[in-house]
Chain A
Amino acid sequence: MGGVISYAAGSKKSSYLLGDGDDGDKNGDKIDWLDLPCPVKYEEIQREALVSLKPELFEGLRFDFTKPLSQKFSLSHSVFMGSVEVPAQSPQTIKVSASHYEFGANLIDNRMMLIGRILTDGRMTARLKYDLTENFTVKVNAQLTNEPHFSQGMFHFDYKGKDYQAQVQLGNNAFYGLNYIQSVTPTFALGGEAFWLGHQRKSGVGFAARYNTDKVIATGQIASTGMVSLTYVQRVSEKVSLASDFMYNWMSKEATTSVGYDYLLRTCRLRGRFDTNGCVAAYLEERLNVGVNFLLSAEIDHWKKDYKFGFGMTVGE
């Protein structure tokens, strides 16, 4: 497990999740402005809220099997049978039964992570993450599909400084992006991003802020595409955290709030959430045995009268 990418980029994050109570800068009143902690990457600013509030709900059957062939290399087989929503213009949701088998291979090393997946509906995904040096990382994503003009590829170049992180993104369709985040105080970080999409002549600028202590993570993000997003995650105890999220789109004047809980118990992980769109959802992962997890997913949309229930199993470490 040591080869997996470290989840916590900064010491504050790891202490948040693994339950250490100590806060480093409680010891002194003076803040050393030259020794601020490294913030998380710009794209991961809202990661805790995303993980707690948006589990991968599904409808149907899901089965995942991961087989490690050596310490670094593993294969994965995955079957899904169920209903998928087809985006339609009418308010009525259209569900289509779909099923696929996905075969994948993972190579995870200290410096490199290589993941490939291929599906029976003709999609292929590949991801590479390579640490060239301790501070410089290259990530490549590619997705090939049967449908024309839907394939995409993206390069990310990340640089991690002492108390900042910067990233440059290059993608197909002439996509160029740049983002930067800097720690301003030991608990507060500010960042900004800019992107340019050549084919559609769109460009945008965004700003983000993150306040991060042992028990509280609060973030705010605003973009020129019209999106304002605020999240708040409170760790009530080492097993329980509560999260809430507010999204407002000033172009289309729509606002959504969701509130949820995330219980990480000894043999299960349970996430529940309710929404101002009239949705109530829950996602349960229960450990039946070593390496065998049982999944249950439920989503009730009272407004659209759309009910989705799914179950699945995950086998393998």
Chain B
Amino acid sequence: MAGSGDNPLAKIGNTVTQSPLFQKSKRALSNTARFSQKLLWSTGKAAWIAGTSFLVFVVPLIIEMDREQQMVDLESQSAGLLGAPPVGLVGMLRGASNAPLLKDLSFYRRHCQEDDHAIQERIEAEALDLRFC
């Protein structure tokens, strides 16, 4: 039985491995493996692009908006605590802490004016580039 076991086993093995169904399923499996590897790779790339873009585009915005909100809350809280704007010495001291608003206005105005000559240079440089392309 042991001696004659080779031939029937080999024959069965051959029938299985050379049957069209087996070949098809082997091809399908390798295709699936390749496809899923590509899908994983593409998902990885997409996740990387999405993650780094989110980090650069959105995270500073969230941080700054949060800070702005904190400042607004702090000011509304201090305004609520002190009530009506006081006069006299206390008013002068209070006025000193109002200075941030004036400084903010100059920052705001400065950025509205945005360094006119630098902008002019860029506008002219762009105009020249566009003409001489």
Residues of A bordering B, CB below 8 Å: 1, 4-5, 7, 17-18, 43-44, 47, 50-51, 54, 56, 106, 113, 115, 125, 127, 141, 154, 195, 197, 200, 202, 204, 223, 225-227, 249, 261, 263-270, 272, 274, 280-282, 284-287, 290, 296, 298, 300, 302, 317
Contact = CB atoms under 8 A, between A and B. Distances in A.
Given A47-B119, A281-B56, A290-B103, A264 B130 contact: no
Contacts, number: 113
A7 B123 CA distance: 14
A227 B56 contact: no
Nearest to B99: A290
Contacts of B67: 265, 267-268
A300 B124 contact: no
Most interface-central of B49, B67, B132 (chain A CB within 10 A): B132
A173 B3 CA distance: 99
Interface stretch (B18-26, B28-36, B77-85, B104-112): B104-112
B11 interface: no
A223 B114 CA distance: 27
A268 B53 CA distance: 21
Interface residues of B, number: 40
B130 A225 contact: yes
Interface in B91-133: 100, 103-104, 106-114, 116-124, 126-127, 130-133
A195 B60 CA distance: 43
Contacts of B122: 50, 54, 56
A140 B126 CA distance: 17
Contacts of A267: 67-68, 71, 104, 107
A43 B60 contact: no
A302 B68 CA distance: 31
B52 interface: yes
Contacts of B6: none
A1 B115 CA distance: 11
B111 A113 contact: no
Contacts of B109: 1
A17 B126 contact: no
A20 to B, nearest CB: 13
Interface string B51-69: 0110011101100110110
B130 A223 contact: yes
A260 to B, nearest CB: 9
Given A225-B133, A265-B68, A290-B103, A282 B123 contact: no
